[in-house]
Amino acid sequence: MNEKVAILTSGGDAAGMNPAVKSAADYSRQKGMVPYVVEWGLRGLIEGWIKEATHERLDGMLYRGGTALGSSRSKRFYDYEFRKQAFENLQKLGISKLIIIGGDGSFKALNQFYVDFEVPFAGIPATIDNDISGTDYCLGVDTALNMIRSSVDSIRDTASSFSRAFVIETMGRDCGYLAMVSALANGAEVCLVPEIEYDLNAVGERLREQREAGKRYVLGIVAEGTGMAEPLTRWMGDVLKMDARLTVLGHVQRGGSPTVYDRIMAYKFAVAAVDHLLAGDTNRVVTFRNGRFGSSSIHQIADTKHECESSLLDLVRGLSC
């Protein structure tokens, strides 16, 4: 009898989740497994919302943003009785392995599930913040960066037309990756992120010199975790004597059809996840480091603080002072 594997998405949605689901289902089928999908994440495991991943169910999923399966942050999954209910739902269908696409919170939940019931899983990192330790890339990041780029390009048009200062707030509570890469890619004059100390006095002097040299507009990109979006906007108006506006991009960054890069990375992550399960690896999260795919234990990921690459921090530091 062919082994069965269930695939689910969990936590915050990210473009690339759908291509990863489809790729994992298609590749596991090629390897002789029978793939299933779980609707609404951890809650779906508890409720038994588990269906075979037929071609009809997967059709049209590749190009869609977000997660077609749905996601949830189920507090009930922390309760042993509900985890037991989820295990019994898998037993009824004969499902012996899991693939979860999400963040470290989702991986920790399935790690506890393994401790309780010994159901092996493989994790695929998917979060637009790119803040999972042990991997250089998480699904959804490239699409989010392109959504930000498109928005900033539009804002620049009006900023230039009226000689205004604009502050754009990106997502990123503890990790400023989106803000840093976007600031560099979009030619922002200011970037404030949690990882770098900033000096507004130095920033002000630098911007005044640029204005005197003919700079028509100013763009500042700020990570939400700094709490500086509104203060920086007021500061620009007061110090630079410019009409200053704030744009909070919010959840527009999560949406959008996955880019080619996210689709290809989703396929590669999915193949690696299935291969790890077939090789007998348990509790492994697929990682991408220095151009190569590998894996880390959930303990390695959970117990290691994520740090942005130093070269990126060095490039952005000049925009914070």
Per-residue confidence band for 133, with pLDDT thresholds at 50, 70 and 90 = very high
Name the pLDDT band for 301 (thresholds 50, 70, 90).
confident
Q: Is 163 helix (H, G, I), strand (E, B) or coil?
A: coil
Provide the mean pLDDT of the chain: 95
Q: How many CB atoms lie within 10 A of CB 126?
A: 30
| Residue closest to 252 by CA, chosen among 127, 153, 150 | 150
Is 13 among the domain residues?
yes
> Per-residue pLDDT averaged across 289-312, rounded?
88
Q: Is residue 312 one of the residues assigned to a domain?
A: no
Q: Kindly report, residue by residue over 222-270, the tens digit of the pLDDT.
A: 999 999 999 999 999 999 999 999 999 999 999 999 999 999 999 999 9
What residues make up the domain containing 276?
Answer: 4-140+258-304
Entry field: residues in the chain: 321
pLDDT tens per residue across span 82-112 = 999 999 999 999 999 999 999 988 999 999 9
The verdict on residue 320 lying in a domain is no
* CATH number, domain with residue 203: 3.40.50.460
How far apart CA 165 and CA 112 sit, in angstroms, is 49
Is residue 127 domain-shared with residue 148, that is, in the same domain?
no
Do 148 and 94 lie in one domain? The reply is no
- What mean pLDDT do residues 43-72 have? 95
Q: Does residue 270 or residue 308 have the better pLDDT?
A: 270
What is the 3-state secondary structure of 188-238? CCEEECCCCCCCHHHHHHHHHHHHHCCCCCEEEEEEHHHCCHHHHHHHHHH
Tell me how many domains the chain contains.
2
What's the confidence (pLDDT) of residue 104? 87
Give the pLDDT band of residue 298 (cuts 50, 70, 90).
confident
Supply the residues annotated as catalytic: 129
